[in-house]
Amino acid sequence: MINEKDVMLQVQAGRLDKLAVLYESNKVKLFNYFRKKGNSRAQSEDLVQETFMKILAYRSSFNGSSTFSSWMYGIARNTAADLYRKNKGNVIHEDIDDHEVVSEHCATEQAVSSQQQNIFDESLASISAEHREIIILSRFQQLNYHEISSLLDCNLNTLKSKMRNAISKLHEKYNKLSGEVR
């Protein structure tokens, strides 16, 4: 396993060829992040490319005090927000098909049937953008709470409260769509 922080520091020092290492190890994660946020396949591919162009352009701003992943997702989040503003909210959304989201070997996703996965995806898409992002960053991109609170610029206890609310809303939507009452 590569140490992404060290590789990024090499990129900063002028070893631009090392950016390919970071791209290869993160392109699937970023693609899935953008897809789970509701972007089309083409938009997600473009957003991955744009994110890495910005990583290259702003490489001097990486200070190594946080993980490369949290810094990268900050850029990815801003890149998606830029697209949204540019299109004034007219972003094309597609349903997420199981075959389009590239597997990250997430055990919970592999264990869920196709129908349950569709219900989950629909439930995730129906909660607020803030709640959806917190769940995506935590559960799918596997950032820790400290990284997420830094990325979202909120304190840790506020994030924990938002996470509880997000999971509660997701469960509520999932149960409603699946016909379960709890």
Classify domain 105-182 by CATH number: 1.10.10.10
More confident residue, 164 or 86: 164
pLDDT for 151: 87
Look at the domain 1-99 and name its fold.
Answer: Rna Polymerase Sigma Factor; Chain: A (1.10.1740)
Percentage with pLDDT > 90 across the chain: 48
Q: What does the pLDDT look like over 24-60, one tens digit per residue? A: 999 999 999 999 888 889 999 999 999 999 999 999 9
Query: Which residues are CB-neighbours of 164 under 8 A, at least 6 positions away?
Result: none
Query: Per-residue pLDDT averaged across 142-160, rounded?
Result: 89
pLDDT for 4: 93
pLDDT for 66: 84
Domain segments of the chain: what residues?
1-99, 105-182
pLDDT for 91: 44
